[in-house]
Chains A and B, each alone.
Chain A
């Protein structure tokens, strides 16, 4: 146990923290290298709107904005101020939705994104992997061939097209699902009412279906190519010669080993859900992080963009860290050392 902590856990924690530090530092630096000055942009926008301000007022506004954007002081001072605010959980006010704090807006949007993306991801992962392995083990099976063609087709279509097609078919031609949003416009989220939860679920069907369909195709194809290599491995051929039952071979010999890289991929995908599903959320008018990010890009709200990026960095780094710790449970060839 002591060896595990010293040789395995601590180096990985250091790695994890370094990754987050470098990632966040880069997201801090990159916008600052851009040749635009957000304060000047804001000021000139005000002037361009035609409001006649005396130079003193402009100067005061410039100072206020500089302070607000965290741009006062030398670059080093700014950088430390940024970290100290970050540790207090303060990501600054949203510039597009002034003065609501970024963390509050993300906090509102994130649950919607997570409740949609995580189940969709896990469902598509399970089904995609299962059918992918099945279809490469039974290449002659007609039904599986049909599934494969569907998976390939859906996967090769951009997912927002899939989203629009589903929307047109199931909301317009066959109007069984609502058009947009996570709940009807004008209602307030009330998590104690069953009716609200049901409409919420109803609103989530099409976005979830899009994600599951597209995800299924991806996992299916990945798993199929992984298993088609494993099928010709000696230990699988041997299991067949030994006369083991096909189901036994499929589960314990083929899926068991093919699953390992897919698990890593799943962890990475779980990490990326924090940045939302950008265009999908826009198509469905879904109030998640993706919609937030798109709006932030349009309105030059770079404190919001940074906030979302930071969440995403922490999400991915945490997922990788956790899978790193858990991996030896799945693959005995990897040991804590």
Chain B
């Protein structure tokens, strides 16, 4: 049973100013599934469309972002939701926070600067479940906070009185008040130092182990993926380059881009210099034809320049989009 299935999703930013229109193909034909009880990673360099993908699947599509085609279907224990068709009202009432919660990128600044942290909890609970007994609400919130290893004091603090790591943990605590089926975490450890990163990652892992829900973890940091995720996809220029269990990605990467990515990671004890990949990621307003990686690919062939490679299943749970690989050829 899948929790989420995304099919052939195309979402572009379309802007028009002074008669010049500009289209950024941020998400271009992405298909993947999420299953209950897993931590799924999305990796890729900056501006490869990670955040755009999340905006679409979490139902936060705002001008100039536009979905051109594809489907985003959720199945929350039998409650089917088509994210691209659902009304704003139903989304707000039934899905947001109860089923899908979101730890935003830059979530250090998601807290209202002039209100105490407890007020944000209160707003969320009041909107989605209603508060009849204020004392009970306070007790439950304290228990929730403690369960996640946070001191009760943070509830009565203003955001500016908390450290960055603490604010990030509060954001995660806010995302888990209702035990949602899916928690989307966009760069939750970026801008934190490594010690705090470790704490935050542990927290995410513990929460997932406790409530057996799905976590979609987006980060460009491969070390985080190696430590936390079960399965992951590598995005390149708005498309999926490769998707596999995290172990396979690190041990047996197939796509030339993934291989470069993995080879660029430093290993303890190794003294050779890491080679960097020539060129730079393509401009998504004017991407190269065929395989978008071809201008930088060491194995480039003629067909790479013209034909877009399909994402083919080469092994069990291992898909790659590269002309070097055909269905079941490995």
Contact = CB atoms under 8 A, between A and B. Distances in A.
A234 B107 contact: yes
B160 A234 contact: no
Given A238-B104, A242-B102, A248-B123, 20 more contacts: A234-B106, A235-B110, A237-B104, A237-B110, A239-B112, A240-B60, A241-B60, A241-B104, A242-B96, A242-B124, A243-B92, A243-B97, A244-B123, A244-B124, A245-B127, A248-B127, A252-B112, A252-B119, A332-B114, A332-B158
Given A243-B92, A333-B160, A234 B114 contact: no
A253 B112 contact: yes
B111 A244 contact: no
Interface string B159-190: 01000000000000010000000000000000
A235 B120 CA distance: 10
Contacts of A332: 114, 116, 158, 160
B127 A252 contact: no
A235 B111 CA distance: 5
A202 interface: no
A7 interface: no
Contacts of B97: 242-243
Given A234-B106, A242-B96, A252 B124 contact: no
Contacts of A243: 91-93, 96-97, 127-128
B219 interface: no
B109 interface: yes
In this complex, the interface size class of chain B, counting residues with CB under 8 Å from chain A, is 20 to 34
Contacts of B112: 235, 239, 252-253, 256-257
A221 to B, nearest CB: 23
The 3 A-B residue pairs with the shortest CB-CB distance, nearest first, are: A243-B96, A238-B110, A234-B109
B107 A238 contact: yes
B58 interface: yes
Contact of B102 (A241, A257, A260): A241
Interface string B83-118: 000000001110011000010101101111111100
Contacts of B113: 235, 257, 333
Contacts of A59: none
Nearest to A256: B114
A40 interface: no
Interface string B139-161: 00000000000000000001010
Given A234-B107, A256-B114, A332-B158, A244 B127 contact: yes
Nearest to B105: A234
Contacts of A77: none
Contacts of A237: 104, 110
Interface string B230-257: 0000000000000000000000000000
Given A239-B123, A244-B124, A333 B114 contact: yes
